[in-house]
Amino acid sequence: MKQIIHLDINGEAQDIAVEPYHTLLQVLRDELGLIGAKKGCDTGGCGCCTVLVNGKAVYSCMVFAMTAQGKTITTVEGLADGATLDPVQQAFIEAGAVQCGYCTCGMIMSAKAYLSSDGSHLPGDLEMRQAIAGNLCRCTGYQKIVDAIRLAASRRMETSAKG
């Protein structure tokens, strides 16, 4: 039996009818057409489906949609401001962090959650790697993804120094 839940998705309030067994990932992809979150395994092992729930990076395949009732969801579609990309998206392009791209949106969301915390220092290599340790990538060896996070972090520092 479907039930109506209320979600705030990318700044927009939505009432959606979901089955109790629907995961947040299924609802995002199949009901709302938000295909940035990808299904890579559906068992909480790859991180391709990562989105932000109340600002925290979570595997949307591991969350029943009904438990997200009343929460704020951010997907990769909610990052860019019109044609202006989010600095993390921009950094991924410039650092060459995108290859096949299937893990990319999940990676960006994990990086985004990590970079939303304290912005006063340039993160160390280990810290950045920990931030994406739950996201698998088979193309890049992660090096240029770490480069992208570093680039976004250094730009954030410059911006906050100016501000």
Partner 1 sequence: MPETNIVGKSVLRPDAFDKVTGGKGFPVNVRLPGMLHGKLLRSPYPHARILRLDTSKAERLPGVKAVLTPSEAPKNKFHPVFFSPSVAASMVHDMLILSDRVRFAGEPVAAVAAINPQIAEEALELIHVDYERLPAVFDPEEAMKPGAPQIHEHAPNNIAMHPLFAFGDLEKGFEEADSVFENTYETQRVHTCYMEPRVCVVDSDARGNLTVWSSTQHLFGLREKLASALGIPVSKVKVVRPPYIGGGFGGKLDISFLEPISALLSLKTHRPVRIEHTRYEDFITTARHPVKVFLKTGVKKDGTFTARYAKSILDTGAHATHGAVVLMVHGMYGFLLPYRCPNSKWEGFTVYTNNMIGGGFRGYGVPQAAFAVESQIDEICDKLHLDPIEFRLKNSHGEGQQHPFDPGFKLDTYRFADCLKQGAAQIGWSNRRSKGSGNGTKKRGIGLACQPLWVSGCVGFPDIYEHSGAILKLNVDGAVDLSMATIDMGCGQTTVLSQIVAEELGVPLEAVRMTYADTETVPFDAPTHASRVTYSAGNAAKAAAGQAKKRVLEIASSMLKTTSDNLETGNGRVYVKGAPDKGLSIADVVKQAESPYVRMVPDGMQRTSLQEKGTVMGVASLAPASNPSPATAEFVEVEVDTETGEVKVLRVVYAHDIGKVINPAGAEGQVEGGFQQGMGFALMENLVFDQESGACLAGDFLSYKMPTAMEMPPEIKSVFIESHEPSGPFGAKSLSEPCAIVPAPAIANAIYNAIGVRIRELPITPEKILAALGKL
Tell whether residue 41 is a contact of partner 1 (CB under 8 A).
yes
DSSP lists the bridge partners of residue 34 as none
Residues 6+ apart with CB under 8 A from 12: none
Single-letter residue type at 128:
M
* CA pair distance 51, 54, nearest whole angstrom: 10
Tell whether residue 9 is a contact of partner 1 (CB under 8 A).
no
Tell whether residue 139 is a contact of partner 1 (CB under 8 A).
yes
Interface map 95-114 toward partner 1 (x if CB under 8 A): -x-xxxxxxxx--x------
Tell whether residue 3 is a contact of partner 1 (CB under 8 A).
no
Find the helix or strand (DSSP H, E) in which 16 lies. Answer: strand 12-18
Interface map 44-63 toward partner 1 (x if CB under 8 A): xxx-x---------------
CB 36 within 8 A of CB 107: no
Residues that bind partner 1 (CB under 8 A): 21, 34-36, 38-46, 48, 76-77, 79-80, 85, 89, 92-94, 96, 98-105, 108, 125, 128-130, 132-146
